[in-house]
Amino acid sequence: MFEIPETHPRYGSLMKREKLVAGIEAGITSKQGLIAHGRGEAFDYLIGEGTLNSARRATEVAASLLLVAKKPVISVNGNVAALVPKEIVELSELIKAPLEVNIFYRTEERVRKIKGHLEKQGAGKVLGAKADARIPGIEHERAKVDREGIYSADVVLAPLEDGDRCEALVAMGKRVITIDLNPLSRTSRHATVSIVDDVERAIKNIISVVKEKKGKKEGEKKLAVVVGGYNNKTNLREVIEEIVNRLKEEELILMR
Ligand code: ATP
Ligand code: MG
């Protein structure tokens, strides 16, 4: 990796780019993944590169949903594997959810490499190589899933999801949690719970809320109330309101 001094004002952002470039060199991230990340970065600027209050509320619901799930699964693509490998392995253990490799630019070699990369970080069960089932209504490679994984899961955590697949998973009756910096994307609009935040921040936040809830031994009833009281569209409106208010403040600063 290229040496970036920690004092650089954009250290965090540059390190993410380094991780993705390393992901490409290791054969786990696609080149197209860089472009997807770039679009995400633009939204992160508008958000202020920090977690919004609305994203915190969505995270609380997401953590509750993962804890009440009967069969949760975490979907992993090439960007997620490069950016947050340790964190998703930790979360997978905390909520007893297998990881499943699921990529748009699928080659069996890349699936194998992502699996190996996760196992190196300590992952137990990594699904996705078998791909013995299909999500109905999807024609591209991300339709390929494991029958014992995403296909039969009741709750899917899919960071950096594709809009059409998110819609198709919801149509199968699943509850889908997404992490996507764009509050306007099809993914954000169709998910059961959309966390509009950077994937690193969001996964870290989910881990800490899950730990807190487990520590307090919150019962299923209490968790279900949190999930039941949530409306994703309302939350997305709040995200947009927070972004607009932030931009208005920025504008005032510029005018001074
Ligand atoms: P959709 O698939 O939902 O219709 P899209 O096709 O516009 O939306 P994709 O190209 O599938 O979006 O994925 C790129 C999106 O992924 C970015 O616009 C951004 O919102 C999201 N994204 C990329 N990198 C990150 C990241 N590090 N954290 C969170 N979200 C990210
Ligand atoms: Mg897409």
195 lines ligand 1 (CB under 6 A): no
pLDDT in tens, 103-138: 999 999 999 999 999 999 999 989 999 999 999 999
Specify the pLDDT at position 1. Answer: 75
Each domain of the chain, given as residue ranges in start order, spans 53-243
Indicate the CATH number for domain 53-243: 3.40.50.12640
Ligand 1 pocket member 157 (CB < 6 A): no
| Confidence (pLDDT) at 67 | 97
State the ligand closest to the CA atom of 49.
Answer: 1
Answer whether 118's CB lies under 8 Å from 85's CB.
yes
Which residue from 147, 146, 209 is spatially nearest to 177, judged by alpha carbons?
209
Q: Is the pLDDT of residue 2 over 80?
A: no
Identify the burial level of 6 via C-beta atoms within 10 angstroms of its C-beta, where 0-12 means exposed, 13-18 middle and 19 or more buried: exposed
Assign 27 a pLDDT band (cuts: 50, 70, 90): very high
pLDDT at 205 over 80: yes
Total Cβ atoms within 10 A of residue 110 = 18
Percent of the chain beyond pLDDT 90? 92
What ligand 1 atom has the least distance to the C-alpha of 40? 19
Whose Cα sits closest to atom 1 in ligand 1? 163
The pLDDT assigned to 9 comes to: 85
Q: What average pLDDT does this structure show over 14-24?
A: 97
3-class DSSP assignment, residue 7: coil
Of the pLDDT bands very low, low, confident and very high (cuts 50, 70, 90), residue 144 is very high
The model's confidence at residue 158, banded by pLDDT at 50, 70 and 90, is very high
Average pLDDT, the chain: 96
Distance 76 CA to ligand 1 centre (A): 14
In this prediction the pTM is 0.96
Average pLDDT for residues 140-147, to the nearest whole number? 95
Report DSSP letters for 80-138, one per residue: HHHH-HHHHHHHHHHTT--EEE--SS--HHHHHHHHHHHHHTT-S-EE-SS--EE-TT-
196 C-alpha to center of ligand 2: Å? 15
pLDDT value of position 255:
80
